[in-house]
A and B are shown apart, each in its own frame.
Chain A
Amino acid sequence: MNRQRLSLWWFIGTLLFALLSMLVPLPAPLEPFKPYWLALVLLYWALESEDRVSLGLAFLLGLGADLFDGVLLGEQALRLTALVFIALRFRSRLRFFPMWQQTLAVLALLLNDRILLLVVRVLSGSPVPPASWWISPFVGAALWPFLFLLLDDLRARLRIQ
């Protein structure tokens, strides 16, 4: 019982931490390299414990992120819902991919996310962002193996589901 509660808190904690790290500013030259932490952590949980991650959770998390960013209510909710849907759909295959293949899949997911964002932005009348805007998914994919191993290792150490 206690272990279960701990694992639930661990789950919530990592997601909140990811939400917060989206808000922490980086030095200006590093700004385009900022990965979409929230998507990465949510993806990890979608692959590792699907019974906790659902489309509704992704939607609510995205709404929370929109509330903090103050951009357009529903933008990240849309992106995260689409992301989690694809991840859950191909979960069984993604889980047993070797790491490099999984990384490529994550890259594809993050690029898809950027394209969605671009569509939303352009439809809402914002200018088309510069080329450096496309760096972020690659940084996210490059960080994926480390994030995955780190979270997996921590979970094993804490002996939680």
Chain B
Amino acid sequence: MARSRDESSPLFAGNAAGTLRLISYLALAMVLMVLDHRNGWLWRVRYAASAVVEPVYRLANLPGAGMRTLTVAFADRKLLTEQNQRLREDLLLANARLNRMAAVAEQNQRLKELLDTQHSLELNVQLARVVGVDLGAWQQRLVINLGARDGVKPGQPVIDAHGVIGQVVEVLPTTAVVMLVTDPAHAIPVVVERSGLRTVAYGARDGSGMVLPNIPLAADVRPGDKLLTSGLGGRFPPGFPVGKVESVGLGASGMFRAAQVQPAADIDRSEDVLLLHDQAEPAGPPTPAAPSGPPTGLAPAPGAAAGGMPAAAASAGNPPSAPTPARTAGTAPAPAGGAR
């Protein structure tokens, strides 16, 4: 179609106004990027825009879900029968194991009660489905179909049948974004099952798995070692499988050894995941027990307390008459310290 050329599309040289507009748009984009990178307020915008975003996620999930439905619909009868048989055997095996474990777990519970420890082996979980949405290439993230309305909170660990998948990083009203353990920005405290060595597993920078970048040269780590969550840091409860060491070599700095780790969870293939609800014990030392020493009357109050409380000592004038006010002043902080 023949169209006369007009001012807006010159054949060779452009006009200055177009360039100016380009520069202003690029500057605006850069300002947005920097602000977002510094403050991370994109998620606040996203939360506000979730009325649009979430239906679009559902829509984008449709082709994948349709493919799954079609696979089931057109699957070979024989294949399904085999699968069913295998699942049934697995269930039988798992039940048998569970029955054996039940006795052990009960014994464990009793022993723990005797030892007066708090945490139990019970899991408080919530089943979530993975929404098939592609959040850009090389984003180690998942979208699940539970959100703030289902009580999901940032920081909740996400697991599947084989191990830890990651943790919730952002929550929208009815969906949530999970950061995988293979994300380069993710770190998880682990313990080597065989030797008890504690270290931290990071996501590999090329997205291929996980790495243990700083193992001491003398430490005992071999290929095939299993890694469990250590529970340090208080985010992941202890004892969940994280991965298996594939290879161990000298790190880039030469001061440490580094290991490649294959994640235990089916990160690429999970359709259903479990959200852990009981958060691990809070980090830090346990609260000190209430003081149960000798009665305060026996405390060497006047002389010892005088150094610590010059104000009380100064107001007390002569030492012999001081005991009563000094003692009450000395015991008052103790309950406050215990409750802290």
Task: Give A residues with C-beta under 8 Å from B.
Answer: 20, 22-26, 28, 31-32, 34, 50-51, 55-56, 59, 62-63, 66-75, 77-78, 81-82, 85, 88-89, 91-93, 120, 124, 126-127, 129-130, 133, 136
The answer to whether A24 and B134 have CB atoms under 8 Å apart is yes
CA distance A156 to B134 in the complex (A): 33
Tell me the B7-31 residues at the A interface (CB within 8 Å).
Answer: 8-11, 14, 18, 21-22, 25-26, 28-31
Task: Give B residues with C-beta under 8 Å from A.
Answer: 5, 8-11, 14, 18, 21-22, 25-26, 28-33, 35-37, 42-43, 45-46, 49, 53, 56-57, 59-60, 63-64, 132-139, 141, 170, 177, 184, 205-207, 268
The answer to whether A55 and B22 have CB atoms under 8 Å apart is yes
Min Cβ gap A140→B in Å is 13
Contacting residues, chain A, for B31 (C-beta < 8 A): 74
Q: Which of B36, B46, B137, B207 has the most chain A CB atoms closer than 10 A to its own CB?
A: B137
Q: A23-B57, A55-B25, A78-B26 are in contact. Are A32 and B137 (CB under 8 A)?
A: yes
The 8 Å CB contact of A59, one of B28, B43, B177, is B28
Interface contact tally, CB-CB below 8 A: 122
Min Cβ gap B191→A in Å is 27
Main secondary structure of the interface of A (DSSP, over half): helix
The answer to whether A70 and B33 have CB atoms under 8 Å apart is no
Chain B minimum-CB-distance residue to A71? B136
Chain A minimum-CB-distance residue to B37? A124
The answer to whether B22 and A81 have CB atoms under 8 Å apart is yes
Contacting residues, chain A, for B46 (C-beta < 8 A): 67, 70
9 A-B pairs with C-beta separation under 8 A: A23-B135, A24-B132, A24-B134, A26-B134, A70-B42, A73-B33, A74-B31, A74-B32, A89-B18
CA distance A23 to B30 in the complex (A): 24
Q: A72-B37, A93-B11 are in contact. Are A24 and B63 (CB under 8 A)?
A: yes
